Amino acid sequence: MTATPVRARPRVVGAPAHRRTVLPSGMRVVTQAMPGARSASVAIFVPVGSRHEDDAHAGLSHFLEHLVFKGTREHPEAGALSQVVESVGGSVNASTDRELTVFSSKVPAERTDVALHAVSELALHPLLRHADLTSEKPVIADEIRMYVDSPSDHVFTLFDELLYGRHPLGREIAGTIGSVRRATHAGVVGHWRAAYRPSGMVLAVAGAIDHDEVVRSASDWHAAGPPEEGPARRPPVAAPAPQAAPRGALR
């Protein structure tokens, strides 16, 4: 039997290595210069997701991702921040997973400053108003219903339930309609304060950018960021129980 030779991965000639800087706040800034690109992609990774929630706070990470778009320190009107990014030909978005919440923006390379401003406003300076929480509850409840009504989406939730049981990894990322209805303003604000700390975040930027300029911009808006209040808090979560037998579900 002849062994198949292992081929080395192709390397782009002339591509610079990524650069990394840790800001005084503890945030890690990682950039990859791509001189031939005409755009820049910017993202802040926050190390919190549905696996870090207990039953009483199921879905809070996803709820918070929705709520920050309702208004920020410099853009208090809902949708105003998105309009600023779109006005320069860019886009801004966010997503919540089991272990991460990500705020991202893509813009023409010469407007990287707009993308950096957008993701920093969302992650570090949301208003988190009580009225916005109330108005967003039915929106998220409808989103959960949409997942349940879509077999191609719901099958993955069923798989996770069977695999992990009552562990947070086995739960729908958005929580349940009941947990969304029970969400409180104090709970959402407390979740943000506990999880959205610059010392745990990663800022990643790729495109036709300059690392030192990115670091200077990030340092400026972090200097005005919220202070961290003691050590980060996460609820204790036991490891998923091992499976003793095959499991199945039909719905």
Q: Quote the CA–CA distance of 235 and 57 in Å, as a whole number.
A: 10
Q: Give me the catalytic one of 65, 121, 136, 172.
A: 65
Residue 19 · residue 27 · CB < 8 Å: no
Residue 95 · residue 76 · CB < 8 Å: no
Q: Quote the CA–CA distance of 114 and 211 in Å, as a whole number.
A: 16
Number of residues in the chain: 251
Q: Quote the CA–CA distance of 113 and 55 in Å, as a whole number.
A: 39
DSSP three-state, residue 33: strand
99 as an active site residue: the answer is no
Name the residues annotated as catalytic: 65
